[in-house]
A and B are shown apart, each in its own frame.
Chain A
Amino acid sequence: MAKELLSLENGTTCSSWNYSSTRLAAGSVDGTFSIFDFHDPPSSSSLTSTFKSKVHEGNIVKIVWVPPEYGDAVACISADGIVSLLEEIVEDSQPLQWKICKTFRSNASKVLDVQFGISSTRLKMVAAYSDGHVRIFELLDPLELRSWQLQAEFQNVIESVSSFGKAVCLSASISLNPQKGQESSFIVGFNSNTPELNSSKVWEFDQAHQRWLPVAELALPEDKGDQVYAVAWAPNIGRPYEIIAVATHKGLSIWHLGLNPDHNGRLPVERVALLSGHQGMVWQMEWDMSGMTLATTGNDGMVRLWQSNLNGVWHQQAAFEPTS
């Protein structure tokens, strides 16, 4: 039924494909980072291992690729909340290899999730921390992944008067607006003990005042404190609205986000579906390149696919069950 592409070693905990799905990065419990490549030029053949090295002391829990405009590079998030940026590069007549070019760590809190985006030709890294903070870093030199600058820092709250110092977050999920060539916006949701932080909010950069503003909150009034497992912003190939999927313990909701802000600067939102499927934690949600099919995985160990039908009704279209 499915074609096997690759077997990975014992202890592999995470994997991530690059923009063109031709390279796979994998991380292990012991901090080993490996790269697998398809033969070039494209063929259907299996992948071959082209790099393997221990890059971290602890468990690598997530790998995120940097946009290809900045080379072949990844961010590895470890279980202890440290982010290492690794880049494949030829330097000073040494052979091509992956090198750590930057490490992000914070004494007080752990990094839970990072995502990259490009706005006004600058690379941005959005990072969510275990204390409920979101930090945005900007790359200073387009050819150097070493030099970053903190652009902004804020908590994921709409009406921010007080800061929630005691917040403890288990996980966070960030998803950037995949639309290229415009000022970036992203959505972030937390799974924490502080209800105000949890609900997923859309943040947009306000050019005029050079600051990030929350422009929408994707939760019904009664669900605002719900812990968020995962968020995913769908590619928009021409719809007059954005589609964003949010997973909480109540299920999977599909939101429409309007494009034109009201007088308060808020974008209109509408929850068009609440779907149940995974019966618990949702691990990951991914939209296909048309933004029409959503794939999800979760605690029940299934892969589920969701689509909207001709009448605009969202439903589960198929599911995959791993069997040995």
Chain B
Amino acid sequence: MTACGTRNIGPPLINLVRLKGVPILRQLHLEERLLRTSLDNWCIINDGTDDPTVVMGISGKPVELLEIDSVIRDEIPVIRRFTGGGTVIVDNGTIFVTFICNKDAVPGLQSYPRPIMSWSSLVYRKVFQGIGEFSLRENDYVLGNHKFGGNAQSIIKNRWVHHTSFLWDYEISNMGYLKLPKRAPEYRQARSHLEFMCRMKDYIPRSNFISRTIDAVGSHFLVRSMELEAIMYNSGTKFKPSSRLLRKQELEEAKFDSQTSIAVSQSLQM
């Protein structure tokens, strides 16, 4: 209600925060804090992160998902994030777009995984209109049948977050740190990382993607730009994020446990 007592029937407000090169762990901490402690809707766009980093979902097991020897050898940081979903390796060729919303922000949207995913595809369908054959395929954003963005969500009582890491570009060598996941969508059809994915840069310039995304967000929300500094320090809230960097010792222990388990299993079969 406005001060005059008339009903505000405009679109819901969303705060847009544009970042560039912010470390992914810092981004995840910000997202989780906004999810759990803010009452506003947020759209965060981080144009690239710094060093190549592996980011696993909340239940990710390093031995199943990573080429651990290479990861340890090359000292690739490994993060376990607060949302579900699979494993990605991100770097300065990755563009991150995150929506953090109240459950009633989008009219008619139930805060469950599939409706949220489906709604997000409406936003990106607009972004890629006239550019590529965009669709949502078993929870992945694809151009044709090639995945170019990984999605994940966290849903709490009255709010949800849906975030995406878009592969604007990637290093082929970095994909070597990831194993083929046991749990894969059917349309992947056992393709390797390189056969399964595509680079967004082959379809759209980087700045165009970001500006078209902001325009698409504007068709669902009233967008208000905010600077990171304005939201980083909120002395009233005490919040401990759960996304964290795995220690080298944890990776080594995971590898040791796996090797021990395999050895025991093999000895029992003799």
Are chains A and B native binding partners rather than an unrelated pairing? no
A residues apposed to B, CB below 8 Å:
none
